[in-house]
């Protein structure tokens, strides 16, 4: 057993697990605030702050921390020790911003609280990820980690361009490009996780290398769109949003061409379970792409299937793998059950969201004309309970293993995940 290395993937994994715990707790607050007897008891500003915090810690801090951890592990497990520490300080500042005065701004991709602590925390966390990914962008890195690092650079460039060009006139338009580019980081991280779970060295496949290169190139499209067009109009252009969805899908589908035969032949181990749930939920999310329904709960169902389900289950599987390769105790049988329970919870959540969308419940709304006993809200509460148990199980087991690592007396090198150099 080896102690936690702050500059290695374990440091970012520890931050990711803490973010998952916070996101799960806030999800329970959001769900409880809509339940019978409690509906309307939470002040609207507090509800929307909880919503902003849930999205930030689940779709930004958790996913980006896992993406950095996977990239660092694929590149040899070496990164500046200050990266996870700075990231933790940034996450702490955002958490403080949720309880301090400030207006919640509920926009897509990168919601925030309009207060100095929250925005400073965002910036610090973004800088921390850049510090850790910088070695992955070098010429000596393999195409997987390099593609992820380049996609992250593209997301920072797109966000900076959007903020400079739009300013405070439209929060949605200011973060649209950066949020879109950040999705490329997640799909590259997802592909790296898939190869690790499948035990395949992606460097041996020309199609896989081409897919990583294509994702890195396409990730710069949002920044270019902001520079050559009216950024305020971009979020409203259906054709542009469809094109961005296709740009995200093509590299991922190329990876699946390589991986699907392996998925079909995989055994019943923990890695295979996580891989199957991840691929299945991700493809379901693709089928639920909100064409013509850009402002309904079908959007929420779509990204819950793809990101909360497909990407998260893959990162859970890789987290167990990183722990095991670090010499830490991993109970694979219970890990399989945990992944299945969480995947089922996400699947039920997606189904409940589709029911709510069919009944035209509003998106991002605290309360609506539907009563708290309405079928969609009851279904969402039950699905959230399943997902919360599965997510809490993961946080508890992985967090305990990392706590044991902190107490270990000595360190040993960690092997590179399949697909690395």
Residue 38's pLDDT is 65
Q: Which of 124, 298, 275, 295 is nearest to 200 (CA)?
A: 275
Enumerate residues 6+ apart whose C-beta is below 8 A from 287: none
Banded pLDDT at 416 (limits 50, 70, 90): very low
Range in 146-150, 158-162, 266-270 the model is least confident about: 266-270
Banded pLDDT at 190 (limits 50, 70, 90): very high
Assess whether pLDDT exceeds 60 at residue 410.
Answer: no
Range in 9-23, 207-221, 282-296 the model is least confident about: 282-296
Banded pLDDT at 412 (limits 50, 70, 90): very low
Helix axes 270-287, 332-358, angle to 10 degrees: 10
CATH code of the domain occupying 9-406: 1.20.210.10
Assess whether pLDDT exceeds 70 at residue 36.
Answer: no
Assess whether pLDDT exceeds 80 at residue 226.
Answer: yes
The residue with greater pLDDT, 38 or 233, is: 233
Assess whether pLDDT exceeds 60 at residue 368.
Answer: no
Range in 67-71, 197-201, 272-276, 399-403 the model is least confident about: 399-403
Assess whether pLDDT exceeds 80 at residue 112.
Answer: yes
Per DSSP, the residues of 162-198 read HHHHHTTS-HHHHHHHHHHHHHHHHHHHHHHHHHHHH
Assess whether pLDDT exceeds 90 at residue 377.
Answer: no
Assess whether pLDDT exceeds 80 at residue 241.
Answer: no
Q: For residue 295, with 0-12 CB atoms within 10 Å meaning exposed, 13-18 middle and 19 or more buried, which class applies?
A: exposed
Assess whether pLDDT exceeds 90 at residue 92.
Answer: yes
Assess whether pLDDT exceeds 90 at residue 251.
Answer: yes
Residue 408's pLDDT is 52
47-51, 123-127, 284-288, 317-321: which has the highest mean pLDDT? 123-127
Residue 202's pLDDT is 87
Q: What is the mean pLDDT of residues 392-416?
A: 68
pTM, rounded to two decimals: 0.88
Q: What whole-number distance in Å separates Cα of residue 375 and Cα of residue 292?
A: 25
113 DSSP β-pair partners: 104
What percent of the chain lies above the pLDDT cut of 90? 47
Provide the token pair at 241.
Answer: 């949003």
112 DSSP β-pair partners: 105
Domain range annotation of the chain: 9-406
Q: What is the mean pLDDT of residues 146-170?
A: 93
Cα radius of gyration rounded to whole Å, the chain = 20
Q: What whole-number distance in Å separates Cα of residue 79 and Cα of residue 73?
A: 9
Residue 374's pLDDT is 67
Report the mean per-residue pLDDT for the chain: 84
Q: What whole-number distance in Å separates Cα of residue 128 and Cα of residue 145?
A: 16
Residue 418's pLDDT is 47
Residue 91's pLDDT is 97
Q: Where are the beta strands (DSSP E) in 189-307?
A: none
Dihedral, 37, 43, 46, 52 alpha carbons, nearest 10? 80
Question: What are the distances in angstroms from CA 151 to CA 186, 218, 264?
Answer: 9, 8, 30
Q: What whole-number distance in Å separates Cα of residue 401 and Cα of residue 414?
A: 16
The residue with greater pLDDT, 312 or 136, is: 312
Q: What whole-number distance in Å separates Cα of residue 306 and Cα of residue 353?
A: 14
Residue 415's pLDDT is 43
Q: What is the mean pLDDT of residues 407-416?
A: 46
Q: What is the mean pLDDT of residues 52-62?
A: 94
User: Mind listing the pLDDT tens digit for each residue in 324-345?
Assistant: 887 777 888 888 999 999 999 9
Banded pLDDT at 158 (limits 50, 70, 90): very high
Assess whether pLDDT exceeds 60 at residue 212.
Answer: yes
Assess whether pLDDT exceeds 80 at residue 204.
Answer: yes
Helices (runs of H) and strands (runs of E) counted in the chain = 15, 2
Residue 274's pLDDT is 93
The residue with greater pLDDT, 271 or 140, is: 271
Enumerate residues 6+ apart whose C-beta is below 8 A from 399: 14, 17, 18, 21
Residue 131's pLDDT is 93
Residue 386's pLDDT is 83
Banded pLDDT at 409 (limits 50, 70, 90): very low
Q: What whole-number distance in Å separates Cα of residue 335 and Cα of residue 338?
A: 5
Residue 329's pLDDT is 75
Residue 23's pLDDT is 92
3-state secondary structure of 2: coil
Residue 413's pLDDT is 45
The pair phi, psi for residue 229, each rounded to 5°, is -140, 180
């Amino acid at each position: 057993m080896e102690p936690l290395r702050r500059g290695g993937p374990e440091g970012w994994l520890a931050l990711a697990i803490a973010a998952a715990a916070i996101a799960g707790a806030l999800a329970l607050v959001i769900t409880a605030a809509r339940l019978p007897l409690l509906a309307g008891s939470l002040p609207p500003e507090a509800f929307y702050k909880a919503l902003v915090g849930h999205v930030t810690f689940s779709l930004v801090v958790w996913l980006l921390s896992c993406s950095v951890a996977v990239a660092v592990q694929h590149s040899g497990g070496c990164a500046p020790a200050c990266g996870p520490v700075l990231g933790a300080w940034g996450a702490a500042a955002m958490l403080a911003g949720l309880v301090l005065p400030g207006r919640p701004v509920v926009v897509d991709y990168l919601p925030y609280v309009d207060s100095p602590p929250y925005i400073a925390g965002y910036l610090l966390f973004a800088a921390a990820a850049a510090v850790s990914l910088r070695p992955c962008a070098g010429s000596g890195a393999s195409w997987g980690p390099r593609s992820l690092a380049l996609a992250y650079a593209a997301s920072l460039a797109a966000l900076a361009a959007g903020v400079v060009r739009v300013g405070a006139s439209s929060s949605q338009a200011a973060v649209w490009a950066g949020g879109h580019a950040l999705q490329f980081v997640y799909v590259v991280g997802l592909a790296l996780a898939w190869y690790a779970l499948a035990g395949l060295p992606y460097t041996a496949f020309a199609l896989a290398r081409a897919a990583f290169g294509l994702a890195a190139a396409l990730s710069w499209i949002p920044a270019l769109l902001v520079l050559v067009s009216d950024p305020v109009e971009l979020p409203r252009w259906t054709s542009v949003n469809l094109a961005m969805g296709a740009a995200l899908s093509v590299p991922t589908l190329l990876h699946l061409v390589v991986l699907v035969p392996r998925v079909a032949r995989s055994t019943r181990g923990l890695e295979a379970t996580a891989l199957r749930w991840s691929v299945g939920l991700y493809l379901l999310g693709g089928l639920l792409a909100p064409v013509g329904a850009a402002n309904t709960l079908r959007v929420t169902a779509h990204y819950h299937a793809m990101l909360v389900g497909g990407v998260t289950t893959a990162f859970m599987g890789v987290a167990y793998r990183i722990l095991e390769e670090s010499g830490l105790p991993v109970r694979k049988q219970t890990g399989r059950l945990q992944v299945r329970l969480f995947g089922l919870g996400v699947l039920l959540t997606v189904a409940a969201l589709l029911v709510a969308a069919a009944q035209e419940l509003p998106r991002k709304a605290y309360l609506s004309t539907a009563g708290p006993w309405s079928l969609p809200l009851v279904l969402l509460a039950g699905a959230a309970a399943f997902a919360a148990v599965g997510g809490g199980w993961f946080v508890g087991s992985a967090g305990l293993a990392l706590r044991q690592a902190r107490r270990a007396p000595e360190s040993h090198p960690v092997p590179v995940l399949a697909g690395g150099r």
